[in-house]
Amino acid sequence: MVSTLIRITGDWSLAEDCTADAFEKAIARWPNDGVPDNPGAWLTTVAKNKALDKLRRAANEARKLEQIAIMNELEVDDVELTDDRLRLIFTCCHPALPLEARVALTLRTVAGLTTPEIASAFLVPEPTMAQRLVRAQKKIKNAGIPYRVPPIELLPERLGGVLAVLYLLFNAGYTAVSRVDLAEEAIRLTRVLLQLMPAESEVQGLLALELLQHSRRRARLVDGELVPLEEQDRGLWDSSLIEEGLSLVRAGGRYQTQAAIAAVHARDDGDYSGLVALYDRLGDGPVIALNRAVAIGMAHGPEAGLAAIAALPASDYYLVPAARADFLRRLGRLDEAAEQYRRALEVVKTDDERRYLERRLAEVEA
Amino acid sequence: MTRYIMFVCVDGDPDTDPAPEPDIEKWVADNDASGKRVGGDRLTEPQDATMVRLRDGKTLVTDGPFTEGKEFIVGFDLLECDSMDEAIAIAASHPMARRGRIEIRASWPLELDLS
């Protein structure tokens, strides 16, 4: 509903205010008058009229008079609500906006989270987050960022931007295992996007990736401790998420390839032979390169894995010593493993990971 | 319609794509013809730039551009576009988008209240 009003009025805070007013009216009236036959249309009409009132009062500016004329011509129906949500998602994720602002704006306007909720999700003070949102909305207006689904020729690159925002959101909920709400919000939004663009294989790929990774959420952290994949209780894996995720995997681009990698782990049949080829398709960069080296270790044994890590170009990627330590541990080279676990602890990023590494260090030192 | 200025800049990290570069004269001609480009010029070199500030009633004039080093403005173009996306597309087709970088700023007319 907010998205329809944004389209009609071009003014985000006006749209939000009028939507809130409409809901208040509904809460006040419907218990007495009864719920109307088409509550969505009732709400939108009330909100639209409210917006019209506000605009008329500010009608000295020629721009706004123009908007009133446009509003009077438009009808509201379900199809347009769907298109408006799509327009909203793409606008929130426009590349001219800073990445943090894109994520925040998507959560605020598409997912309907409140500013305090988003601030706490990203561990940022509330005024900072409020400012970030206001700045983003201003830039959309001041820089003339268009409120629309991008034209066909821009769609592939812009869709990538939307998927990146959604995946960033999912990851915020995945790495901090306790933030399951963020991961679930990302999945919900990805489902919305898939509903709006059902033929897009990369959207299917992203959803598959999220579902497959999310399926292990209960097994990854047990009694506050991080449990690595091979030690996880398969009974705690969510088989319906796995089934749905696997059904969405097909040959495709970046997200489909990552989903295919996740599928190898989810299928859990010990066959890692296809893994390395999948990583080859993802290209370069320290994260992918390390994962690929680990995949070599899974397919061909820890000695091969160590050699693959040794062949990597130097990087600051914080998980490199942890991966080395793991292979050394499997090979029984415990002193060397201990040294690598210590190095890994120097650069560890989260509390969960730190406790896991400390546990392993204690194991190899014993 | 929004008016944008694009600052055409040199930076230290040009494109490595071997494909042939767009022709600047064609870019100017095409965008003039469509009415999207309403003005602009190349600029004289940064060593011929002059900076002016007024502090405590004194006019301070110094030689040189405000930016140091390998990044500086070499030209500008004034565009009139339907949206930021259109400005982006026009900027991206400029040869300096590959050789250097382009900054796009929407104009902010004095009578326009952006609060």
**Partners of B4 in the β-ladder:** B79, B106
Quote the number of domains for chain A: 1
Chain B residues closer than 8 Å to A139 by CB: none
Contact between residue A120 and residue B96 where contact means Cβ atoms under 8 Å apart = no
Percent of chain A with pLDDT over 70: 87
pTM for the full model?
Answer: 0.69
Q: Tell me the CA distances in angstroms from A365 to A40, A322, A338, A356, one per residue in order.
A: 64, 15, 7, 14
Question: In this structure, what token pair is assigned to residue B44?
Answer: 């004289």
Residues of A with Cβ-Cβ distance to B81 under 8 angstroms: 144
Which residues are paired to B103 by β-bridges? B7
Does residue A151 lie within any of the structural domains? Answer: no
Contact B1, B81 (CB under 8 A): yes
The closest of A215, A189, A220 to A203, measured between CA atoms, is A189
User: Which residues contact residue A351 at a Cβ distance below 8 angstroms, ignoring those fewer than 6 apart?
Assistant: none
Q: What is the mean pLDDT of chain A?
A: 85
Out of B4, B84, B105, name the one closest to residue A146 (CB): B84
Over residues A154-173, mean pLDDT: 87
The DSSP 8-state label assigned to residue A238 in this structure reads -
Contacts of A54 (CB under 8 A, 6+ apart): A14, A17, A18
Q: Is A152 on the interface with B (CB under 8 A)?
A: no
Q: Do B84 and A145 touch (CB under 8 A)?
A: yes
Give residue-wise pLDDT tens across range A79-121. 455 677 788 889 999 988 888 899 999 989 888 888 998 888 7
User: Does domain B2-11+24-92 bear CATH number 1.20.20.10?
Assistant: no
> What's the pLDDT score for residue A28?
72
Residue A78 pLDDT > 80? no
Asked if A144 has any chain B CB less than 8 Å from its own CB, the reply is yes
Chain B residues within an 8 Å CB radius of A144: 2, 4, 81-84, 87, 106
Q: Is the CB of A146 less than 8 angstroms away from the CB of B4?
A: no
DSSP for A280-304 reads HTT--SHHHHHHHHHHHHHHH-HHH
- Range of weakest confidence among A312-326, B47-61, B87-101: B47-61
Evaluate whether residue A311 is within a structural domain. no
**A4: in domain:** yes
Give me the residue spans of the domains in chain B: 2-11+24-92
Q: d(Cα A8, Cα A2) in Å, to the nearest integer?
A: 10
Work out the percent of chain A whose per-residue pLDDT is above 90. Answer: 46
* Residues of A in Cβ contact (< 8 Å) with B82: 144, 146
Within 8 A by CB and 6+ apart from B71, the residues are B9, B10, B11, B12, B101
**ipTM value for the complex:** 0.72
Preferred mutation among A64, A142, A158 to probe B, highest tally of B CBs within 10 A = A142
- B88 and A96: CB-CB below 8 Å? yes
Confidence of residue B114 (pLDDT cuts 50, 70, 90): low
Q: Average pLDDT, stretch A144-151?
A: 88
Q: Dig out the tokens for A252 from the structure.
A: 């495709």
Q: Is residue A39 part of a domain?
A: yes
In a domain, A40, yes or no: yes
Q: Is the pLDDT of residue A180 over 50?
A: yes
d(CA B79, CA B94): 13
Q: Identify all chain B residues contacting A142, using CB atoms and an 8 Å cutoff.
A: 106, 108, 114
Q: Say what the pLDDT of residue B101 is.
A: 85
CA-to-CA distance for A351 and A362, rounded, in angstroms? 17
A62: closest chain B residue by CA? B112
Query: What domain range is A53 assigned to?
Result: 1-76
Mean pLDDT score of chain B, rounded to an integer? 86
Hey, how many other C-beta atoms are within 10 angstroms of the C-beta on A364? 19
Contact A181, A215 (CB under 8 A): no
